[in-house]
Amino acid sequence: MKRILTGIFFFLLSAAGSAAAEPVRLVLQWQHQSQFAGYYMALEKGFYRAENLDVTLIPGGAHVDPLRMIRDGQADFCTTMLSSVLGRHDRNEFVLLQQVLNRSNLTLVAWKKGRHGIDSIAAPSDLDQRRITLWDGFRPPYEAFFRRYGIDPVIIPQYYSFSLFLHRGADACCAMRYNEYHSLIQHGLRDEELTVFDFHELGVDLPEDGLFAVAETWRRRLSVCDAFVRASMKGWQYARDHRRETLDVVMRYVEEARLPANRPHMEWMLDTILQAVFPATDAGWIPGQLTEERYRKAVSILGLEGSEPAYGDFVTPGAQRGLH
Amino acid sequence: MVILLHPERSVAYINRSLFLRLALLILGGGSLVVLAIVLFNHLTMRRTLLDDQERYYTALASSSAYKFNLQLLQAQKVVDEAAALFSALPHNKGTALNLLGRILSRNPDIYGSAIALAGGQQAAGFQILYSWRAGDRMQTMERSQPEQDYQSDWFYLPYHLRKPVWTDPYYDADAGTLMVTYSAPVVDRRRVVAVITCDLSLEGLKASLSELELGRHGNPLLISRFGKIILHPRSEWVHKETLYSLAEGAQNAEDRETLLAVSRELTAKESGSLRFRQPGKRTYAWLYFGSVPLTEWKIGFLIPEEQILAPVVNLGIKTVLIALTGVLLLLVPAFFIAAAITKPLQVLVRAADRLAGGDFEAPLPADGRTDEIGRLIVAFDGMRTDLQSYISELTRTTAEKEKIASELSIAREIQHGILPKIFPPFPQRSGLDLYAMLSSAREVGGDLYDFTLLDEDRLYFCIGDVSGKGVPASLFMAVGKTLLKSTVQTLQDPAKALFHVNNELAEGNDTCMFITLFCGILDLRTNELVYANAGHNPPVLFDRDRASFLDLIFSPPLAAMPDSPYQNQRLVLPADAKLLLYTDGVTEAMNPQLELFGEERLLAFLRGQPRQTAEGCVSQLVKTVAEFAQGAEQSDDITLLCLSYGSSRPSAAGNGTSPTSLLVVTNHHAELPRLVTWLEGLQTRLEWSDDLVGQINLILEEWLVNVMSYAFDDDQLHEIEIRLWQKEKELRIEVRDDGKPFDPTTQTEPDLGLSLEERPIGGLGILFIRNSLDELRYQRQEGENVVTMVKRLETPGRELPHAET
């Protein structure tokens, strides 16, 4: 009898606990891949649950606009690139909860011998008047890059793939260091065939993925926001310290979504992403943080001086502080 | 089974059995040859098969690629035609539907087809129309997400490249399947106004590949221009992995290197074959591939090597089984051959065993064979017959030899019988000590000695050596000895006797034998020795200090030549001096180092002899010579005669008469049993009571032990002489020894109160002796203790005349 009573007591306790868990939806900016490993692990290892959050992950894709989804209330938080937010006209409606990727992974990959295999491309200036495919959503940093080097290429839209580049229909294409660049290598392209313009190295170093919410959410659900950020960053730290386990979880997400990604590629992506989340000792920033200086620099690269939201309004204290 | 369980026993068994060894040899040899052939065959077949398969499959892969290319070309042609038509027709929905129907009906391989208008043609009434097969019917739809389609490779690539394109496989949500698409741009006034496509489902491609001949043999493999895996036996790789991602994800460096090598080869060559170790496995696989020019795809077939080699392996197994059966069948003739060879051998072995046991009648294997075995049987038979006759011959000769040997031994007994052998020879002549011995090198010998009393006081003695040995010498010796003795007895003169005998023997001496001889006559009253020599070794005269050869006039040996002159020589034999006569068997005794004993050694030996009896001298000398020879065979007869005459020694006990019996023992306790034997002999002869014998035995033993224990300080051998006279009423015993003076009569009564160690020597024993006897006397004579014991007899003893011991 006593045992039954104890059982009922614990059942009620746990029911009360789960009833109290705050439902939270996170929309990702792309399909499942290692880019979001930290969130998978926070969910997997119960870090969200520990913060009393009931998190649902919504995968992104070509036709998913995460910012619109949180603005329309279809999700509570999203991950997306800082430049994507700042490039929008409704940018003032969003706040940055945490700057997760602090290092730019954008590259421009060119055929060393050009599309026709004769005219060589070695320096940014060689790209002038060349056919370059660009992602529509990521144009600001590329255009900043072109401006910086005074180049005027022929721009062709780039969508899902770099197939036009592969078929030598373009001289250069956009590539994330952690994703497309490695895919090219997996398609048999060799480094010696390619010239890679790494934006991080070339000084167009925009911080990338951040966790965003609409300002309203942040104002009204401050503790939930803080808890979500805390658990998410804990997930990233776990991913850093348990890569094999993390990779297994990533591959599970990939396979469940029937995505054509292979394990070596996801491994490359995980390693590269983690380098952008956790800085090398002398990088001058701490994980999750977006300093005012870097914010100003990003605004400057994107050519938004004057129309940008105020640092204090846009970057929440958590992101100003970063991870301690 | 027992053999199998005990390998060492089975090896031993095989070693013992020629039959088994032969059978094993034939079988083993046969098996080895068969094995070598099978192995060679297998390796050759394997090589040939792989070569053939390589040629065959490479050609097959190329032709498959060609056929596949043709299939694509046919689909492509339909689309190209449609594109050409569309550019010439009004761009409206009706035209589009017509064309789509035409495309699908013209080529059954085509799963679906789309006509996508480039932007800015709202008048056409559609953006993208898509038709596809649903069973036997054709269905058409307007695409649900045209924006997405415009961004897809199938539109995007031909639009920007302005040329037809085969896409990589992709998943189409509207069609719900993996497909590849051929897209052709419709160009109007240098602008791409539309794109027309046809889709081939991957399933369909796979099916058509499997219908190709090669598809039935191996697993088809389709690789895109950029290494992407389109078809693979491992379906989880399809659309996901590339050749390079597989290499990147390899478990180890070796696998990675293999996969990279495969990728390089596959990219570099139009067609060919590859053998590589399968990643994660130990086995090899073959990849035969050809190119599809339209898409720049590679079409290949993966076949595990074991699958290719399966026929060879099967054949190998069958061959081995057949070979094994053959070898087992070979066992039967091998058994018979081995049996045919070993059976007669076994019979021969049994016959030989019985032969060894003396049975000559054991049956032999049937005759009539002409091979080695047949010859062996004949030889064995011959050997048996020879052996039989040899044995009977041997038996006969052995019997003869035995007869001769027995005759020889009789001759030896006769020869020795004619030599005087009783010592001391003349016990009545006290003081005369004579001993002689003859040791023949063979059964019978040519040496001789002789002695006899010519009358009361004259002793004749001689020693001689017949030339040669054996029976002739012994006969000659017998003649010479007998003749000389009778002649000396007649003539009473050595030289004359020799002269006479020489002439007797030399006459008609056809055998040319001769005798060296020394003879002499000793006058016991005067100690004068008259002697003559016939070519014999000079005797040695020796006493305590000196030893020297007797001075001799040389005369030829007896029977050498008639009328040889012989002269008498004279000498007074000193008291205590001894004379040793010997033959050359002594001086010419040889040791293994081929040294002679020699005269010097003889003289030295005799000088080293202290007071010895003649017998002691002789036996010591024989011992010394034997030691010198160190076991070397005695080559010549050895004869020795030793004599001395110590004038007439007065006997304290015997009153000048000879004793009834005499016993000489040496100073050794081991000699005591001889005393018992001696007394027992006397008891029988003299009819003593047991009590008397016991008493005398005790008295003498007590005294002898006393003498042996205390009388001598040195390690030398000493003689103790016991003489016994049996008188009518008394028994008289005289004991002589040359030890320290000791007078038993003067000894005081022993103090019985003292302990054993403290008592003086022999006290109790002497007391016993004194009390047991009726009379005890002591004298010290010439360095000798002479003890005389008298025991009166209750019953008168039987007095006997002088008798030999």
- pLDDT digits 0-9 by tens, B745-767: 877 666 665 655 555 555 678 88
Q: What's the average model confidence in pLDDT over B61-76?
A: 88
A159, A187, A262: residue with CB nearest B240? A262
| Residue located via tokens 């020894």 | B737
Report the pLDDT value the prediction gives residue B749, as an integer from 0 to 100. 63
Residue A324 scores a pLDDT above 80:
no
Sheet holding B540-542, edge to edge: B432-439, B638-645, B578-582, B540-542, B547-549
A170, A260, A264: residue with CB nearest B249? A264
| Residue located via tokens 């850093």 | A240
* Cβ-contact B474, B671 below 8 angstroms: no
Report the pLDDT value the prediction gives residue B357, as an integer from 0 to 100. 83
Chain B interface residues facing chain A, Cβ-Cβ under 8 Å? Answer: 145, 147-148, 151-153, 156-157, 160-161, 165, 167-168, 171, 226-228, 239-245, 248-249, 263, 267
* Cβ-contact A81, A94 below 8 angstroms: no
> Residue B606 and residue B717: Cα distance in Å, rounded?
15
Q: What's the average model confidence in pLDDT over A53-67?
A: 91
B153, B240, B244: residue with CB nearest A163? B153
Instruction: With CB atoms and an 8 Å threshold, state whether B153 touches A188.
Output: no
CATH code linked to domain B661-792: 3.30.565.10
Among A residues 245-274, those touching chain B with beta carbons less than 8 Å apart: 258, 260-265
Q: Angle, nearest 10°, between helix axes A243-256 and A222-241?
A: 110
Q: Which residues touch B750 (CB under 8 Å, ≥6 apart)?
A: B759, B760, B763, B764, B766, B767
Query: B51 exposed, middle or buried (CB, 10 Å; 0-12, 13-18, 19+)?
Result: exposed
The pair of structure tokens assigned to B174 is 């509207």
CB-based contact (8 Å) between A32 and chain B?
A: no
pLDDT in tens, B630-676: 888 888 888 999 988 875 444 444 444 667 788 888 888 888 888 88
CA distance to partner chain B, nearest, from residue A238 (Å): 23
Interface test with B, best of A166, A167, A269 (most B CBs within 10 A): A167
Report the pLDDT value the prediction gives residue B214, as an integer from 0 to 100. 61
Residue A1 scores a pLDDT above 70:
no
Of the CA atoms within 13 Å of residue B343, those in its CB half-sphere come to 8
Helix (H) or strand (E) holding A165: helix A163-166
Residue A15 scores a pLDDT above 50:
no
Report the pLDDT value the prediction gives residue B2, as an integer from 0 to 100. 44
pLDDT band at B594 (very low <50, low <70, confident <90, very high): confident
Instruction: With CB atoms and an 8 Å threshold, state whether B167 touches A159.
Output: no
CA distance to partner chain A, nearest, from residue B29 (Å): 58
Name B452's bridge partners: B460
CA-based radius of gyration for chain A: 21
C-alpha dist (Å) from residue B652 to B547, B587, B787: 31, 41, 9
Contacts with A170 from chain B: Cβ below 8 Å:
160
Q: What's the average model confidence in pLDDT over B687-696?
A: 87
Instruction: With CB atoms and an 8 Å threshold, state whether B148 touches A164.
Output: no
Total-model pTM: 0.58
> Residue B98 and residue B110: Cα distance in Å, rounded?
16
In single-letter form, the type of residue at position B465 comes to D
Interface test with B, best of A163, A181, A254 (most B CBs within 10 A): A163
Contacts with A194 from chain B: Cβ below 8 Å:
none
- Fold identical between A21-103+206-321 and A106-202? yes
Q: What percent of chain B has pLDDT over 70?
A: 93
Residue A17 scores a pLDDT above 60:
no
Q: What's the average model confidence in pLDDT over B459-479?
A: 87
A63, A186, A265: residue with CB nearest B148? A63
CA-based radius of gyration for chain B: 67
> Residue B465 and residue B132: Cα distance in Å, rounded?
150
Residue B164: cis peptide before it, omega within 30 degrees of 0:
no
Q: Where are the beta strands (DSSP E) in B226-368?
A: 229-231, 272-277, 284-292, 297-304
pLDDT in tens, A227-249: 999 999 999 999 999 999 999 99
Provide DSSP, B30-51: HHHHHHHHHHHHHHHHHHHHHH
pLDDT band at B677 (very low <50, low <70, confident <90, very high): confident
User: What are the backbone dihedrals phi and psi of residue B716, each rounded to the nearest 5 degrees, phi first?
Assistant: -70, 160
- In CATH, the architecture of B48-307 is 2-Layer Sandwich (3.30)
Instruction: With CB atoms and an 8 Å threshold, state whether A186 touches B165.
Output: no
Identify the weakest region by mean pLDDT among A24-28, A317-321, B507-511.
B507-511
Contacts with A261 from chain B: Cβ below 8 Å:
240
In single-letter form, the type of residue at position B337 comes to I
Provide the mean pLDDT of chain B. Answer: 84
Domain boundaries, chain A: 21-103+206-321, 106-202
A316: left (phi over 0), alpha (psi -120 to 50) or beta: beta
Interface test with B, best of A31, A181, A187 (most B CBs within 10 A): A187
pLDDT band at A6 (very low <50, low <70, confident <90, very high): low
Instruction: With CB atoms and an 8 Å threshold, state whether B152 touches A159.
Output: yes
Report the pLDDT value the prediction gives residue B752, as an integer from 0 to 100. 61
- In CATH, the architecture of A21-103+206-321 is 3-Layer(aba) Sandwich (3.40)
C-alpha dist (Å) from residue B273 to B241, B260, B270, B307, B469: 22, 15, 10, 16, 108
Residue B429 scores a pLDDT above 60:
yes
Provide the mean pLDDT of chain A. Answer: 89
CA distance to partner chain A, nearest, from residue B132 (Å): 24
Q: What's the average model confidence in pLDDT over B272-279?
A: 88
- Helix, coil or strand: residue B253: helix
The pair of structure tokens assigned to B103 is 């495309």
- Helix, coil or strand: residue B561: coil
CB-based contact (8 Å) between A187 and chain B?
A: yes
Provide DSSP, B204-219: HHHHHHHHSHHHHHSE
Fold exhibited by the domain B418-645 = Phosphatase 2c; domain 1 (3.60.40)
pLDDT band at B195 (very low <50, low <70, confident <90, very high): very high
Nearest CA in chain B to A63: B148
Q: What's the average model confidence in pLDDT over A50-73?
A: 92
Residue B742 scores a pLDDT above 90:
no
Report the pLDDT value the prediction gives residue B641, as an integer from 0 to 100. 92
Report the pLDDT value the prediction gives residue B3, as an integer from 0 to 100. 46
Q: What's the average model confidence in pLDDT over B351-377?
A: 81
CATH code linked to domain A106-202: 3.40.190.10
CB-based contact (8 Å) between A57 and chain B?
A: no
Identify the weakest region by mean pLDDT among B294-298, B469-473, B501-505.
B469-473
Complex ipTM value: 0.85
Instruction: With CB atoms and an 8 Å threshold, state whether A167 touches B241.
Output: no
Which range has the top average pLDDT, A287-301, B13-27, B565-579, B768-782? A287-301
Report the pLDDT value the prediction gives residue B761, as an integer from 0 to 100. 57
Q: What's the average model confidence in pLDDT over B481-486?
A: 89
CA distance to partner chain A, nearest, from residue B50 (Å): 31
In single-letter form, the type of residue at position B426 comes to F
pLDDT in tens, B710-741: 888 888 788 888 888 887 778 889 898 888 88
Identify the weakest region by mean pLDDT among A106-120, A250-264, B107-121, B408-422.
B408-422
Q: Between A36 and B801, where is the model more confident?
A: A36
Instruction: With CB atoms and an 8 Å threshold, state whether B153 touches A261.
Output: no
Instruction: With CB atoms and an 8 Å threshold, state whether B151 touches A186.
Output: no
pLDDT band at B804 (very low <50, low <70, confident <90, very high): very low
CB-based contact (8 Å) between A215 and chain B?
A: no
Domain boundaries, chain B: 48-307, 418-645, 661-792
pLDDT band at B1 (very low <50, low <70, confident <90, very high): very low
CA distance to partner chain A, nearest, from residue B228 (Å): 7
Instruction: With CB atoms and an 8 Å threshold, state whether B244 touches A186.
Output: yes
Instruction: With CB atoms and an 8 Å threshold, state whether A188 touches B242.
Output: yes
> Residue A287 and residue B4: Cα distance in Å, rounded?
78
Report the pLDDT value the prediction gives residue B648, as an integer from 0 to 100. 44
pLDDT in tens, B502-541: 998 888 788 888 999 999 999 888 888 999 999 998 999 8
Instruction: With CB atoms and an 8 Å threshold, state whether B160 touches A169.
Output: yes
C-alpha dist (Å) from residue A14 to A1, A2, A17, A42, A52: 20, 18, 5, 21, 12
Tally of CB atoms within 10 A around B191: 11
Instruction: With CB atoms and an 8 Å threshold, state whether B267 touches A167.
Output: no
